[in-house]
Chain A
Amino acid sequence: MELWRITYFTVLTAAGATVLMLPPGLLLAWLLARREFRIRVVLDTIVSLPLVMPPVATGLILLLLCSPRSAIGRLLEAAGLEIVFTWKAVVLAMTVMGLPLFVRTARAGIEQVDRRYEAVAATLGATPLRVFFTITLPLAFPAVLAGAVLGFARALGEFGATIMIAGSIPGVTRTLAVAIYSYTETGRDREAALIVGVSASIAFAALWLSNRLAARVATPTRKERASGTPAGLHG
């Protein structure tokens, strides 16, 4: 039945987008949480833009970037990569719109990790990369996971940017959100209502899970630390 096909497609692309968000998202979250550098505020702002701009605006920017008229578009064409009006555009839109949410949540989690653990790990010979994967990430894991779930939920409900760059092609780029719009535009109100129900249920489940995970963020690192006056690592 078409509804289940659309649901499956939406969940699959949203999951793909979530996975795609992780490497750049973790890097950005770590940079913003741990590193001082001059353009830090600028970077933070750019990363947060899709959260604040109208999604169609973000979609339009993506469309212009991927069109054969732009420099990037020409590169893509040369590489034989077609993005606009394909499932790749769906994943791209979802990734771009979900990334800021993931970065915000993951960053907060990383900031909560006690830097002393990272410093001690370094004295024990761990390179910054090893410190990140063996100390920072495990200790920030609940927040990172909550961020991923949030990013996934956002990807599931993504509409504005998606319709701009992927359109609403039945069986090819029609996600749940896009289908609701298309169906109401063409008078298929009852089917649209059904999809609204499915979307709402999935979103509810995802948000509930994210909140449960986020609640576990602050507690584990604090309670297991030895008591005593803090080492003067910062003077």
Chain B
Amino acid sequence: MILLDFTLHQGAFTLDVHERLESRVTALFGHSGAGKTTVLDSIAGLRTPSSGTIAVGERVLFASDRRVNVPVYERHVGYVTQDVALFPHMNTRHNVLYGRRRGERLALESVAAMLEIDALLDRRVSQLSGGERQRVALARALMSAPEVLLLDEPLAAVDLELRRRILPYLERVRDELGVPIIYVTHDRAEVHAFADHVIRLDRGRVVASGLASETLESLIPNP
């Protein structure tokens, strides 16, 4: 269960989210500028809300009333950003292993097999294709044994054909690893295919929240 109950002010923009997420995959849907990435940044600790609470499972990551603000590096959040950001000075293997925590049992072999990047491990990052980078970034995030996985428009920069090929990997992650996923997108088809729960954001406010099959149909405009 993920608790998002916070407000974030930035200049003229205000983000207001009050949701309990209990699904395997929650999609954050909306136009650009709606605040979707800011939500992910707040969960990861890269942005600090003005007030409220953020909790993942039993762990409280942020609570303004109790002055709790867990530093980014202790949040156990796996974040695949929109531009992937693989470390250019390391090869694929070192990228993937960067976040591995001591004592965590997740084996490189199984993650590499699941995402089919075994053959890529010794390549330099610059030698990877777009789709391969996505999978490597996903593997890197997974290898840090996160308690929640944040994906920011993972398929946005990828063509339709490739999208169809990557989606199964995401589904595999969802099904085999049991880590809750929060997934930002502005593409309906992805939501439909992949998510259980949808939250629609418009200019910083939640305008719709519910099961994917239902919520998509109801286009409630923000009054």
Contact = CB atoms under 8 A, between A and B. Distances in A.
A125 B74 CA distance: 6
B186 to A, nearest CB: 11
Given A123-B141, A126-B99, 13 more contacts: A117-B87, A121-B87, A122-B73, A123-B79, A124-B73, A124-B78, A124-B144, A125-B101, A125-B144, A126-B73, A228-B156, A231-B152, A233-B46
A135 to B, nearest CB: 7
Interface stretch (B19-27, B36-44, B53-61): B36-44
Interface in A99-124: 114, 116-117, 119-124
Given A227-B157, A228-B157, A230-B82, A122 B72 contact: yes
Interface size class of B (residues with CB under 8 A): 35 or more
A88 B144 CA distance: 48
Contact of A224 (B38, B47, B126, B130): B126
Contacts of A229: 82-83, 156-157
18 contacts: A116-B81, A117-B85, A120-B79, A122-B73, A123-B44, A124-B78, A125-B73, A125-B74, A126-B99, A135-B87, A139-B88, A224-B125, A227-B83, A229-B156, A231-B37, A231-B85, A233-B41, A233-B81
Interface in B60-82: 71-79, 81-82
B93 interface: no
Contacts of B83: 116, 225-231
Contact of B98 (A124, A127, A221, A232): A124
Contacts of A170: none
A231 B46 CA distance: 12
A24 interface: no
With a 10 A CB-CB cut-off, give which of A116, A139, A225, A235 has the most chain B CB atoms. Answer: A235
A138 interface: yes
Contacts of A139: 88-89
Given A121-B87, A125-B73, A125-B101, A235 B38 contact: yes
Nearest to A124: B99
B144 A120 contact: no
B85 A220 contact: no
A223 B126 CA distance: 8
B182 to A, nearest CB: 13
Contacts of B156: 228-229
A119 B84 CA distance: 12
A114 B87 CA distance: 10
Nearest to B128: A226
Interface string B28-54: 000000000110010011110000000
Contacts of A125: 73-74, 76, 99, 101, 144
Contacts of B71: 122
